[in-house]
Structure 1
Amino acid sequence: MKTVIFDFDGTLANTLPICFDAFQHVFKQFDNKELTEEQIKTMFGPSETGIIRGNLSNSNKDEAIELYYKIYAEHHDQLVVNNEEINNLLAFLKESGYKIGIFTGKAKRSLDISLQALSMEGMFDVIITGDDVVKPKPDPEGLITALSLLGVDHSQAIFVGDSDADILSGVQANVLTIGVQWLPDYHSLEFTSEPHAIFKNVGEFMKFIKE
């Protein structure tokens, strides 16, 4: 194995609360709708801009998108905590010679806010966001693109994610696919497509990598 590609929200950072918060502000202000976290989860797949453009009834979609990013940036430090276990995992992988990457449905703009806030800038060898793909997860397009940019064969790669769409994407890309439920907030309690392994804490995954 040469490469580990990670999903971001719910996998590398406990950012689902900030995503829910920003979407709830947007839909309340523009559509006067009170959305639950579960309702928001059903919209996941496209980037934030895609979700707002596809689901908001109000015609002021550009304004709504700007509000999303405003809330996301302003509330980030309050709602997203830096995770030492994740930081140690990434440092371990880098020190062990692995190339590491991100394949996320997030737009680049919100990912950049999070990477800066969590001091993760410059850490990854490849980053594919929702802005970089034509077909969002569960399509494997972004994962295949990431491996191509790294010059790594699918047989040498691991994909790690917390959602059903992540697992489907990894399986379709024919990479070793890991489901994780190691952060306080993650996307899927159960996976419809079976990952090769499921880890509920970071330490177990590090042990798996070492073996």
Structure 2
Amino acid sequence: MFKTILFDVDGTIIDTQYVMTRSLQKTLLEEKQLEVPLEDLHFILGIPGREAIKKFSENDTELETLLTKWNNNILLFSEYATLFPGIEKVIKDLHAQSIELGVVTSKTQEEMKNEFDSFGLTQYFKVQVTASDTDLHKPNPDPIQKALEELGVDKKETVYVGDSLYDMKSAKSCGVSFAVAQWGAVESSAFTDIDFSLATPKDVLTLANIKTDMI
């Protein structure tokens, strides 16, 4: 069905919900003496860190300090980040079937190096578009559009797999199909413009018309 599959990272390939929310909670307590429940930080999932921090500071200098401290705290919790069960095999199977694969993420290049590369999946993705690569980020179409241009593929033959509303809006504004990764989605009831709902990572194979009993 689709010849190109683009993936979000957090909440789609790797489970970083605890890492991201707990590290920000720690940062806000240490730097601003704010006690914020973890559930009140779920909004940060799927958006650039700078945008998340803006809710807690309008001062540019303080914002930079908070970002630096947050990134340091993320490293303290990085051991809790894990691949979603089954996603590694799915990515390898898609690659083996010559499906063009790419990553479009709100992480920066540095964050990808620190938080993603250790999982050993980088080699399977022909392109990685990070928050460092475009001026505008999700929910704008720019990151996905950049991936399409770098791959030289047809958007009609491309689907974006993600877990957040920002992922959905970015895909739809770019004109590509969107598949929600229900295994990582927090706001599943809020998705209103999806093309496919995937219950498990294995379901991604169906997007490429690969029978799961063949792999």
Secondary structure at the aligned position of 1:131 is classed as: coil
Secondary structure at the aligned position of 2:53 is classed as: helix
* Paired position in structure 2 for 1:7: 8
* Paired position in structure 2 for 1:61: 63
* Paired position in structure 1 for 2:50: 49
Secondary structure at the aligned position of 1:9 is classed as: coil
Moved over 4 A (4+): 43-46
Alignment of 1:166-181 (within 5 A): 166-181=167-182
Alignment of 1:74-153 (within 5 A): 74-77=76-79, 79-153=80-154
* Paired position in structure 2 for 1:165: 166
The Cα of 1:74 is off from its aligned counterpart by 2.4
The one-letter code of the counterpart of 1:115 is F
Residues of 2 paired with 1:128 and 1:163: CA distance?
Answer: 17
The Cα of 1:54 is off from its aligned counterpart by 5.7
* Paired position in structure 1 for 2:193: 194
Residues of 2 paired with 1:12 and 1:31: CA distance?
Answer: 32
The Cα of 1:205 is off from its aligned counterpart by 2.6
* Paired position in structure 1 for 2:28: 27
RMSD: 2.1
The Cα of 1:42 is off from its aligned counterpart by 3.1
Identity between Structure 1 and Structure 2 (%): 20
Tell whether 2:205 aligns with 1:203: no
* Paired position in structure 2 for 1:72: 74
Residues of 1 paired with 2:153 and 2:28: CA distance?
Answer: 41
Compute the TM-score of the two structures, normalised by the length of structure 2: 0.86
Residues of 2 paired with 1:2 and 1:207: CA distance?
Answer: 12
For structure 1, list consecutive stretches of 5 or more residues without a partner in the other structure: none
Q: Which moved more, 1:3-12 or 1:52-61?
A: 52-61
The Cα of 1:16 is off from its aligned counterpart by 1.6
* Paired position in structure 2 for 1:155: 156
Residues of 2 paired with 1:116 and 1:206: CA distance?
Answer: 23
Secondary structure at the aligned position of 1:155 is classed as: helix
The Cα of 1:47 is off from its aligned counterpart by 2.0
Residues of 2 paired with 1:2 and 1:208: CA distance?
Answer: 9
The one-letter code of the counterpart of 1:4 is I
Residues of 1 paired with 2:62 and 2:24: CA distance?
Answer: 15
Q: Does the 8 A contact of 2:10 with 2:46 survive in 1?
A: no
Secondary structure at the aligned position of 1:20 is classed as: helix
Compute the TM-score of the two structures, normalised by the length of structure 1: 0.88
The Cα of 1:122 is off from its aligned counterpart by 3.0
Residues of 1 paired with 2:204 and 2:83: CA distance?
Answer: 19
The one-letter code of the counterpart of 1:2 is K
The one-letter code of the counterpart of 2:194 is P
Residues of 2 paired with 1:44 and 1:155: CA distance?
Answer: 27
Aligned residues: 208
Secondary structure at the aligned position of 1:102 is classed as: strand
Deviations 1:74-124 (A, max 9, x none): 2211x1123451110110111111111111112222222122232223331
Residues of 2 paired with 1:83 and 1:192: CA distance?
Answer: 21
For structure 2, list consecutive stretches of 5 or more residues without a partner in the other structure: none
The one-letter code of the counterpart of 1:150 is L
Deviations 1:110-161 (A, max 9, x none): 2221222322233311111122222221111100111011101111111001
